[in-house]
Chains A and B, each alone.
Chain A
């Protein structure tokens, strides 16, 4: 069966520091991959999605970036965090032709 894991689960970072959140999917090939953010009191915002290695689409311009160095690995990064980057970050995947998206456990980021 397919599984998705992301880490770290919790992160407290100072303003201006870098960020790296990692996500991997097991048990499938060629998945579509997504990063969402859930800020306090707000809904879910799509940040990036990827349909293949090196193919990244950005939905919201910001100081975050994403990379897909391997088929089942998706990384969310920032060179310098802002206070407004605090939130709950969710990685997700779907099969290339499937209509259901499955989410990871989430990563809590607090920028102080």
Chain B
């Protein structure tokens, strides 16, 4: 079946450091891929998405590229801020009308 694997956290960085959170997936066909962010005590917000191979999703300085050859969708940011501290979830959806399948989440903590 479909699944998403994220790197284990927590990830602890200093402000302005480079961030990478790894995400790989297993799916049949061509799923859509997503990154969601959850700030403390809040619901999930869509951060970015990509719907086909080689697409790059980007938002708020975060980027992720849909790599079909490596079945990956790694999240990157060149310079993190304290306000980026949150839990990040990678997810896939194999077609419209079905539910998202999530990774277990990666906690990011950024200190000044």
The size of the chain B interface, using a CB distance under 8 A, is 21
Contact B102 A97 (CB under 8 A): no
Is A74 in the interface zone, CB < 8 Å from B? no
Contact A106 B97 (CB under 8 A): no
Bound CA–CA A99/B102 (angstroms): 15
The interface bits of chain A over 88-106 (1 if a CB of B lies within 8 angstroms of the residue's CB, else 0) are 0010101111111111111
A90 contacts which chain B residues (CB < 8 A)?
43-44
Within 8 A of B (CB), among A36-57: 42-44, 46, 49, 51
Within 8 A of A (CB), among B54-112: 89, 93, 95-97, 99-100, 102-105
Q: A57 — nearest CB in chain B belongs to which residue?
A: B99
Bound CA–CA A99/B49 (angstroms): 10
Contact A97 B96 (CB under 8 A): yes
Given the known interface contacts A100-B34, A103-B43, A106-B42, the answer about A94 and B96 at a Cβ–Cβ threshold of 8 Å is yes
Given the known interface contacts A43-B102, A43-B104, A43-B105, the answer about A96 and B97 at a Cβ–Cβ threshold of 8 Å is yes
Given the known interface contacts A99-B51, A102-B46, the answer about A32 and B102 at a Cβ–Cβ threshold of 8 Å is no
B22 contacts which chain A residues (CB < 8 A)?
none
Besides A43-B105, A94-B96, A103-B44, 9 other CB < 8 A contacts? Answer: A43-B104, A92-B100, A95-B96, A96-B97, A99-B95, A100-B34, A100-B46, A101-B100, A103-B36
